Every structure is written in C-alpha cells, then in structure tokens.
Amino acid sequence: MPTSTAPRTPGAAGPSSAPAAGGPPSTSGPAAPPTSGPAASRSLGAPLRWLRRNAVVLAGCAALAYLLLPNLVVLLFSFNKPAGRFNYAWQAFSTDAWTDPCGVANLCGSLGLSLRIAVLATLIATVFGTFAAFALARYRFRGKSTANALIFLPMAMPEVVMAASLGTLFLNMRIEFGFLTILIAHVMFCLSFVVVAVKARVMSMDPRLEEAARDLYAGPLQTFWRVTLPLAAPGIAAGAMLSFALSFDDFIITQFNAGPSTVTFPMFVWGAAQRGVPVQVNVIGSAMFVLAVAIVLGGQIVANRRKKS
Amino acid sequence: MTITLSGISKTFGDITAVHPLDLTVPEGSFFALLGASGCGKTTTLRMLAGLEEPTGGTILLGDDDITHLPPHKRPVNTVFQNYALFPHLDIAENVAFGLRRRGVKSVREQVAEMLDLVQLGDLARRKPRQLSGGQQQRVALARALINRPRVLLLDEPLGALDLKLRRQMQLELKRIQTEVGITFVHVTHDQEEAMTMADSVAVMHRGRVIQLGPPAELYENPRSTFVANFLGTSNLFEAEILSPQSTLGPRAEAAEKGLKPVEAGMSAEGETPERAETPAVAGTAEVSEGTSAAEVPGETRVKVAGADVTLRLPTSRCAVESVEGAEGVEEGRKILVGVRPEKIALLHPGEAEAVPATDNQLTGRIKDAGYLGVSWQYLVETPACSDLTVYEQNVERDTRLTAGADVVLHWRPAHTFALDAAQDAAAGEEVL
C-alpha cells in the first residue's frame, strides 16, 4: 500500500505534534493560543491525516481518470444515434453501429489493410530487430556506435520529416506508392523500437545461464532455442506489441507514402472527419480499447495464477 | 578420471590470468583451487569446463585430449557461482536439462532419484526464484550430478550462503562426493572451506600455483609467507641462521633432496616424528638458561633479529631457497621464523621451570586478551615480535594472564618453520 510513502509535512498537526502542543510551554511557542489544545488539534488532524495517508492513491486515481476519460467518451458516443453527420452531441441511445460496424463504405476495408500492414510490419521488424539487438548487445564490431545512433534516429526525428524524405526517396526510385511503400516505411520505424526493447532485455540477461546450458550438453543452436530465446522473449514480445500499436495507428508517415487505393484505417478516419465521423469509428476504437484491456487483464490473471501454483 | 593440465595458460590482452601451469588432479579426489579473487583460479576452472579457450598448453582427461573440445562435448559439469539456474524452467526441468539435451527419453525416474538425493523431491514443480539460496544450491548440484560427469567443477558453490548453512553444505558436499566417487574440482577463496572439504589444495596467487598439497601439509609447512598468512594466521619474525645442522639426521638428508615438504604423516597429526625422536636427542643435549645452545642433529639454530634470543627448528622446515654459490640453509642467512598462534603455550613467569628444556622460549608482556568463546586470543609484546598472537583453548585459564602481565611463551621446535626473508612478511594477510 502506498500509505507509507505519503510525504509527512512537518508543519501539519499529527499525532506526533499533538502532545508537544498540549504539554508545558516549549521554548518555541510560549505564547501559544489557548484554543490549540490537544482536542482542537485532533479534530483538525483527522481529515488532514486521512488526506496525507491517501494522497498517493488520490493522485493515482486522478491520473488514471485523466487517461481513461477520452476513451470513455468514445465508448459512450459509440452508442449514440446522431441527428446529423456529426457525432458530437448526445441524441439517443442506440446499438445500431455495434450491430453493423461495416455499415460505412470502405471502413472495414481500411481496417483490414491496417491490420495486414501492422501484422506484416511487426513480424519483419521483430525478426530483424531481434537479430540487430543481439548483435549490438553481445558483440563488438566496427561501426557499432554508429549503428546504435542510427537506430535511435527514427525515434528522435520528427515524423513528418521522415515521412517526407521517405516519400521523396520512393518517388526518385520510381517505386509505385502503395502497400509495399507503406510496409517498408512501417518496418523502418518499428525496427528501432524492437531493437531498443530487445537490447535492454538481452543486456540484463545473465551470460552464465547460456554457459550453464553449454556445460549441460546443449550445442549452440540448442542453447539459443532452449535458453537464450525463452529468456529474451519478454523483450521480444514488448517490442512486437509496441510495433503493432505504432504501425496500426500511424498516420503521418502512411499519408506520405500511400497510394490512391491504399487507405489505412487512420487515413479513413481522418478523411471521414472532414465530412463527419460515422459512429462506427467509435465502435472500432472502443472495441480495440476493450480488447487491449482484456488482453492485459487476462495476462495478469494468468501470471498471478501461475505464481500461486 | 585423472585430470592433467600441462603448461596451461591464459592471457586476456596484456593481462596474464594464468601463467603456464602444471597440475594433476587424481581420480576420485576432492581438489580445491584456493586463492584471493583475481588469482586465476576461476579462469583455470573455466578452461577445464571449456568455457575459456587456453592460450597455451593441454588438458588431458584420463588419456583424452580435451583442450579444444567445446563445453557441450566434455564429460564435465559445473556448479556455477550463484547457481545459474534457468529461471524459465521448473526445478525438475532444470535437473533434466542435461539428460534431455543428450536425447535421453525417460528422465522422470532419474530426476526424482536425483532430487531425493539432494532432499528436494517435493519442490520439483517450483520455479528457481521460489527457492531459498540453500535449496537453489542443491538444485544446481543435482542438475550437474544427474549427468554422471567424470569431473564435477564447483565455482565458489557456497559463497552466497550464510555461515551456518555453508558449514552444513560443506559436509553435505563431502558426503555426496564420497557417495558418487566423482572427481571434484572446487574453486574457493575461503581457506576454511578448502581445508574442510578438499583432499588436496592448490594455493594460487597471481596466476600461479604457489603451493600444492593436503590441507594439513599446507597449514603445517607453508613454503611462503603468502601461504603462511592466507591459511590461518602465522607469527612471522626476522632472524638469522646461526648453525645449520643440515648434514646430520635422516630428516635433514631428505630435506636436502630439493627441500621437499615434510611427509604427510607428520602434518596430519599434531604429534610429529620430530617430536618422537626429540627425547632421545634431548638426553644428550646440553641445556643452558632455557634456550638450548646445544647442537641437535637435524636442527638449525637461529638468532632472532634485535633480541638476544636463540630459537631452534628442524632444518627440514626451512623453506629457504638456495642462492648462487650457497645452499639455502647456511650461517648468516636472513630468514623469517614462523609459528602458528595455537602452538604457543603461555605461562606465568613463576612457572617458567615447567617449560621443557628443549622448547623454544620467549618472554613478553600481554598487550591484549580477547575472549572468543572457544578460545582466548592474546596479543603479546616480545623482543622477537611486537604483536605475537597466541590462541589458548578456553579451558582452566590462568586468571593471572591479563593485559599488562608478564608471561613466558614456549613451543616445540618442531612447530617452528622458516621462510625466505626476501619476501613480503605480510603477503596474503588482508584477505576476507
């Protein structure tokens, strides 16, 4: 419980300062007002004490509310029945959008495209990012620090700059804008996040575990499959999930590198927003939010159960 | 399996971790590599395991050259420091790991048997992090032993355990080693651990083995100040050889043949062959004023530096190197005389006549008396050494022996040893 970490303000009237105030006149306060007896300070102290004990919890709840409120609004308005084209004012409760999520032209097509790109980009970035992370964490080679810096670059650079320069590159190489250009762009920025996540994990791994495996008759390949990979798995999973989320919701880079027929879900939403966002967008957004929360909660429950058994 | 290291060495860049080293570990023995951190003992062990490629030399296991064999092809297993248990596998799978990698199909029975041997049968489905340090240690042991290796390597296996558990595991390890009969090579910085468990100990210092032998021999006959101070405590003080009697007595002759350490028989027990022959000699020896001036066959007399005290010790216990144009033990040669604190007896000056005439004798004043429970530790100021340490068993202590009291110290010549003066008298002291 965070109660013990709550800061103790020295001036506040608490149980520790109450006896001092009620005792014989001290050097610091000989002219103390007669009202500040032990009883008075206790009645004032109770709510303050409660506040002090629960300050961290309160702050945490406030932060959570700040984070969750937009999602709740999106969820709420997915049950709206808007009067006009704009879904900005509450009209009436309806489950129309939930029963027919693909009721808007091109919405589900763009969702499918986004999912395909996200899955493919995640796969490619995770495989190559893991290789790169192992190389950077385990070996010494020429140009290692340069490689490290270059991998950080996509994360540090403004997205719009990267998007524009990639677009220029594709244009000059006469590569037709479309699925492939989006995929290449997504793999590029996802790679950085995978490398960072996996590298952190690999560097914290005890090299003696692999030595122990080799000592116990595991050849190099078996050592990798049986020990190295399972140990690095949490880092790889983190990198993959990050990649998926980033790729799925990327707008700027996709916008610069997409063809006329490749409209991803974020692009669809942006386009729709010009004319009025359909309620189905709220449905898709809420569904993904609920799904993500469910996955996290499920993981926690499984982990807890495993810990207990 | 007998392990034979010949000329094995390892350098990391400019740093030499292990100087060319020859070592033979006999089959079925419990062998300890003892030294302070950074002395090369772990590197030596890792070369045996195959985790470190030697810079030079060969490693034979029996008659097979395993110098360049990768670790997974060596019939050798290791108990790692901090155990290195696989955190993603449960205890049973950790133990089964080696068997599975060699394609053994039914491992369940063997795993259960092994877990019973280390008394962890009921924890088979736990993960390593759910176990205490002592339990993890035993899992690591079971994981290595289940493979029936021809040699088991132990890298500071008890370093992470508290004192009481460490003592218990020392006995446990020794029991298991006797039971399975596998050669154990054990790396440790704890001299007590090495002495408790090992049949023979190699003391390493700065990448070299500086002395090798059974624990009792190392303790009784240190050949250097490092060993004298690293294994237990030694009182060392400067002296000068008066009259070497190296040509007399069978013991001295043996000593001349390359100054071999005294036979194990002498060191294994407190009573020494020297002692056995002393009464016969003492009868003929002239004794004057407590310090014997007589020349006894096989004994060397030395004069303590800065004091008018003569001490005697067996010539065979003089670990003094021969220098050019002179044998080691010769008149006028500067040496360091050593005696272990527990060999010295303290007496009130009034009882000085009880001191055997043949004993070495010093007078001094107690500076400090410390109570250790099992014994008393005295710090005595003497002409030979201003901080002479003496341990007395905590039995019927003479109550007059308190700080400030004058005392007579005496010990047998056979318990005295001499070392070359051309080395740091404090080497190996400030360890732990």
- What is the set of domains in chain B, with CATH numbers? 3-217 (3.40.50.300), 218-420 (no CATH)
- pLDDT of the residue at B334: 85
- Chain B residue numbers with beta carbons less than 8 Å from the beta carbon of A222 are 101
A 10 A CB-CB count for B216 gives: 16
- pLDDT of the residue at B327: 56
Task: Calculate how close chain A gets to B164, using CA atoms only, in Å.
Answer: 27
- Chain B residue numbers with beta carbons less than 8 Å from the beta carbon of A221 are none
d(CA B309, CA A295): 86
Q: CB contact, 8 Å: A213 with chain B?
A: yes
* Contact criterion met (CB below 8 Å) for A229 and A235: no
Q: CB contact, 8 Å: A214 with chain B?
A: yes
Superfamily of chain region A105-277: MetI-like (1.10.3720.10)
Task: Calculate how close chain A gets to B280, using CA atoms only, in Å.
Answer: 59
B72 → closest Cβ in A214, A227, A309:
A214
Q: CB contact, 8 Å: A218 with chain B?
A: yes
Q: Is the ipTM of this complex over 0.90?
A: no
Q: Which of A77-81, A182-186, A299-303, B80-84 has the highest mean pLDDT?
A: A182-186
Q: Give me the mean pLDDT over the A236-242 stretch.
A: 94
d(CA B34, CA B196): 12
- pLDDT of the residue at B245: 57
- pLDDT of the residue at B386: 83
- pLDDT of the residue at B244: 64
CA distances from A12 to A30, A270, B344 (A): 19, 52, 67
Q: CB contact, 8 Å: B51 with chain A?
A: yes
Residue of A216, A227, A229 to mutate when probing chain B, most B C-beta within 10 A = A216
Q: For A222, which residue in chain B has the nearest alpha carbon?
A: B101
Phi, psi for residue A37 in degrees, rounded to 5: -75, 180
Exposed, middle or buried: residue A66 (CB in 10 Å: 0-12, 13-18, 19+)? exposed
In tens digits, chain B (432 residues) has pLDDT values of 789 999 999 999 899 999 999 999 999 999 999 998 889 999 999 999 999 999 999 999 999 999 999 999 999 999 998 899 999 999 999 999 999 999 888 889 999 999 988 888 899 999 999 998 889 988 999 999 999 999 999 998 888 788 888 888 888 888 888 888 899 999 999 888 899 899 999 999 999 999 999 999 999 999 999 999 999 889 998 888 887 654 444 444 444 444 344 433 333 333 344 433 333 333 333 333 334 445 566 788 888 887 788 888 888 888 776 555 455 567 778 889 999 999 999 988 888 888 888 889 899 999 999 988 889 999 999 988 888 999 999 888 788 888 888 999 999 999 999 888 878 877 777 544
B77 → closest Cβ in A208, A216, A227:
A216
A 10 A CB-CB count for A222 gives: 17
Reply yes or no on whether the pLDDT at A8 is more than 60. no
Do the bridges between strand B76-79 and strand B151-155 make them parallel or antiparallel, or are there none, so unpaired? parallel
- pLDDT of the residue at B323: 54
- pLDDT of the residue at B315: 81
Interface touch B82/A209, C-beta < 8 Å = no
Q: Give me the mean pLDDT over the A71-87 stretch.
A: 85
- pLDDT of the residue at B295: 59
- Chain A residue numbers with beta carbons less than 8 Å from the beta carbon of B84 are 206, 208-209, 211-212
- pLDDT of the residue at A128: 96
Q: Retrieve residue B252's tokens.
A: 């001295």
Interface touch B86/A217, C-beta < 8 Å = no
Place of tokens 């190996």: B428
Reply yes or no on whether the pLDDT at A4 is more than 80. no
- pLDDT of the residue at B250: 42
Query: How does pLDDT run across A139-197, given as a tens digit for each residue?
Result: 889 999 999 999 988 888 899 999 999 999 999 999 999 999 999 999 999 999 999 99
Q: CB contact, 8 Å: A209 with chain B?
A: yes
Q: For B84, which residue in chain A has the nearest alpha carbon?
A: A209
Q: CB contact, 8 Å: B160 with chain A?
A: no
Lowest mean pLDDT among A35-44, A67-76, A77-86, A168-177: A35-44
Q: CB contact, 8 Å: B296 with chain A?
A: no
β-pair partners for B30: B184
Q: CB contact, 8 Å: B147 with chain A?
A: yes
Q: For B146, which residue in chain A has the nearest alpha carbon?
A: A216
Task: Calculate how close chain B gets to A120, using CA atoms only, in Å.
Answer: 29
Mean pLDDT estimate for chain A: 84
Q: For B144, which residue in chain A has the nearest alpha carbon?
A: A216
Alpha helical stretches, state H, B26-87: 41-49
d(CA B340, CA A64): 70
Task: Calculate how close chain B gets to A307, using CA atoms only, in Å.
Answer: 9
Q: CB contact, 8 Å: A229 with chain B?
A: no
d(CA B153, CA B155): 7
Q: How far is CA B425 from the centre of its chain?
A: 18
Report the half-sphere exposure of B241 (CA within 13 A, side-chain side): 26
Q: For B140, which residue in chain A has the nearest alpha carbon?
A: A212
Residue of B97, B137, B153, B155 to mutate when probing chain A, most A C-beta within 10 A = B97
Q: Give me the mean pLDDT over the A108-135 stretch.
A: 95
- pLDDT of the residue at B24: 92
